[in-house]
Structure 1
Amino acid sequence: MATAGVTKDQLARCKDGFCSDPKYKLAQNAIVNHDPLEILLEQDTIQKTNHCYNHKVPEVKPVTNQKNSGRCWIFACLNAMRIPFMKLHNLEEFEFSQNYLFFWDKVERSLFFLHAYAETARNGEEPDGRLLNFLLTGPVDDGGQFDMLINIVEKYGVIPKKCFPEAHNAEATRRMNVMLRCKLREYALRLRLLIKDGRSEQDVQSEIDRAMTEIYRIIVICLGSPPEMITWEYHDKTKAYRKVGPVSPKDFYENYVKSVYNISDKVCIVNDPRPGHHYGKLYTVDYLNNMHGGKKCLYVNQPSKTLKEYALKSIKNDEPVWFGCDVGKACSWKHGINDMDLYNYELVFGVPMFAMTKAERLEYCESMMTHAMLITGVGTENGSDGEEVMCKWRVENSWGDDKGDKGYLMMTDKWFDEFVYEVTIDKKYLAPEVLAVLDQEPIVLPAWDPMGALA
């Protein structure tokens, strides 16, 4: 009978490999009781990093903090929206209510899940199949995609944070999410049994309505009751008193925000270099949405170079750029740096850490979009041919002002190529051939595709 597991010969070769160079013993002595990244950190990279940029959007206060929640996609959008809004209203400091959009996303996403699950039951999907397993794993997660923001903002509008402040369960979402997941899975079972028993569509809809009454109750108890009408009183930079309202949240967006930030004019441009995922094509992901009957999440696939060119155009016009990336790779949150040369794995462990291509990382579950932030600046140099070459990017995060450069990160251009997957660009900057892609019938990727990852 063959020896199970690692053989003695294999183990001997592993031990010989470790003992072959005394630097590995030194590395062991240094790392065994410490965070490896503290030892791997390249001081040369830290020393050459500076947070100065020749193209930068005017920065505003305060630096936001999503705390213990997955709401980065909401924070990044509202941080982009507030910059032109604050300029228009001559404000010193301002935040939109993140809790307000979060509330309505939870409500709408719950309804979307129930309808999606009923649809899969009608289609004969089995509970142990890959699709239903995926849907049941995260029926109402915190994260999202930009087109989901369009759904919520266009329907419910936006309001100042003073009119609907943060709730504890918005800043620490775990307890609420556990309850919502538990109940939604229970309702999914009930819907499946109704459909399996051949009950009428009216019976199915009645069950969905009953479920939503209970779901809404949980959400409103945890997050508070969003206002139907608001009155916003404030002082501008000149200390003059101003008042807006009473007005509905939707009218507040339509009348006071949309003229400087029309969310529906933003287009999601992605970089998906996997074989068969062609540039110049329109993509969507099955069951990726937060609103039943709402706008689909649509992606125009383009080379990374194109994403950067459009981002540069936006920044030069003082318009920040919402973007999605795999933030944890080659990142120091303490120093506020995203740089491929930040950690020297090869020196310490004798192996490179980023040997795969971007496409290979997507294919082998090594990378996907995990976080959304805001590009607010670009550092460029003149290339040998006289063209402007992008070197680094200024990034506004939503983790408070005690991380990085008072809440901002520096992202190198090389890191952008490897780990940025999506940017949202206003239509006015896009070439006609890129806009024309939106007229295509989208290619539908499976629900579990990495391009459907939620920031």
Structure 2
Amino acid sequence: MNACFKSDPLEMCMCRCKVMATSHMFTHKVESEGRPITNQKSSGRCWIFAALNVMRLPFIKQYNLEEFEFSQSYLFYMDKIERCNYFLNKMVECAKRGEEVEGRLVSFLLHDPIPDGGQWDMIINLVKRYGLMPKKCFPESYSAENSMRMNRILQSKLREYTRELRTVISKDGEESSVVSTLTRQMKEIYRIVSICLGIPPETFTWEYYDKSKAYHKIGPVTPLEFYNEYVKPVYNVEDKVCLVTDPRPNNAYGHAYTVDCLGNMVGGRPTIYNNQPVETLMNITSESIKNGEAVWFGCEVAKRFAGKLGIQDLEIHDYKSAFGVEVNLGLTKADRLLYGESLMTHAMAFTATTINVSIPAFPAWRLKADFNIVTLHLCLIYVLCLLYT
């Protein structure tokens, strides 16, 4: 009690011997992790940052660059507009199928109508429709780096629009009335997002020096042309699949699953999870890294994480010695998912691994977060999804 009086409980529980035993050296790693280090700042864009960090590695190699970033703000802009449209159309769909506002589904969706977070299939939707551009051609804005204020404005408008749409459907019911209401609402959404994030250019010209200091110029080109002609040949997002490890008894391995009302684009690719044992995910990830390709993934990072040291390990905190009870380990992963103790909270990229000969089932991993490097040991119990060709 005295030790915890002026100290962080997690810092107090730090296991010294585990810290000393942690090695940041790896037997297999991707050739380059990309420069500069990226930072999502006060936003929930980790899924965009992680995806673009994975995509830029073969792009940097192909064009012999010292450093490079794709514009995270560009995909964020497109996602905000598309996701608002997706949400409003889902509200129309829910109203037409008799879902009550006070019901669990609509209440849950209205709680956070426009979150920053996303899934791999959402990345595919955005890149296929809108392409990519260098960060220099569409840099960060305040609301991209600090999205809370913009999101609150959009949340308020989307809830207001939901009430308006439900009123139109209950009083009129004509499809033309619903469409005209949606069109007007989306014009207002476009204005809000454009003011906060800026309007991306329809075409751009990218000038750069390669490692040999030779000058190059690409453009004028549209973002979609840039992706199709210069990025897709070295990294095709459609060649990837999203795997998940969900051990809950009702979700059998070897099957594909989706989540109702989870998406970001009307008419776009649905969010699909291919459920496989965690051993399959680890094996595929290891093979990908051995072949020089980083792996996008999402996991739970709030548990057993020593942020200052960059270590995530099931044994990094010795709760038993401090409190006389174990924490986080009293439930299986299936139980944690069922009882709300665990969920995917952050997307990152695996860039290195070491297969432990003495414990082959538990390799160590190096992951690239959007602002630092973290080492994971024995913690893939929390891994939820990754992608691979």
TM-score category (smaller protein): over 0.9
Q: Give the match for residue 34 of structure 1.
A: 7
Distance 1:143 1:269 in 2: 18
Q: How does 1:16-415 map to 2 (within 5 A)?
A: 28-58=1-31, 59-353=33-327, 354-382=329-357, 390-398=362-370, 400=371, 407-412=372-377, 414-415=378-379
Does structure 1 conserve the Cα–Cα contact (< 8 Å) formed by 2:30 and 2:292?
yes
Deviations 1:344-402 (A, max 9, x none): 10101010012110000000000000000000000113359xxx66520010001x2xx
Distance 2:5 2:185 in 1: 51
Deviations 1:178-230 (A, max 9, x none): 00000011000000000011331001000000000000000000000111101
Distance 2:306 2:232 in 1: 36
| Identity %, equivalent residues | 51
- Structure 1 unaligned runs (5+)? 1-27, 401-406, 427-455
DSSP-derived class of the 1:285 partner? coil
Post-superposition offset of 1:425: 1.2
Normalised by the length of structure 2, the TM-score is: 0.98
Distance 1:136 1:227 in 2: 32
Distance 2:308 2:247 in 1: 31
Q: Give the match for residue 20 of structure 1.
A: none
Post-superposition offset of 1:56: 0.2
Q: Give the match for residue 383 of structure 2.
A: 420
The number of aligned residues is 387
- Structure 2 unaligned runs (5+)? none
Distance 1:205 1:391 in 2: 53
Distance 1:107 1:227 in 2: 16
Distance 2:361 2:305 in 1: 23
Equivalent residue letter for 1:424: L
Distance 1:333 1:165 in 2: 28
Distance 1:67 1:170 in 2: 9
Normalised by the length of structure 1, the TM-score is: 0.84
Deviations 1:280-307 (A, max 9, x none): 0110000110001110001110000000
Q: How does 1:5-16 map to 2 (within 5 A)?
A: none
Equivalent residue letter for 1:309: N
Q: Give the match for residue 429 of structure 1.
A: none
Gap change, CA 1:66 and 1:204, over 3 Å in 2: same
Deviations 1:74-107 (A, max 9, x none): 0000000000000000000110000000000000
DSSP-derived class of the 1:381 partner? coil
Distance 2:148 2:189 in 1: 16
Distance 1:260 1:278 in 2: 35
Distance 1:374 1:332 in 2: 18
Does structure 2 conserve the Cα–Cα contact (< 8 Å) formed by 1:324 and 1:421?
yes
Distance 1:365 1:32 in 2: 29
Distance 2:169 2:375 in 1: 53
Distance 1:381 1:289 in 2: 38
DSSP-derived class of the 2:101 partner? coil
DSSP-derived class of the 2:355 partner? strand
Distance 1:112 1:325 in 2: 25
Gap change, CA 1:37 and 1:381, over 3 Å in 2: closer
Distance 1:73 1:168 in 2: 19
Distance 1:64 1:335 in 2: 19
Does structure 1 conserve the Cα–Cα contact (< 8 Å) formed by 2:47 and 2:119?
yes
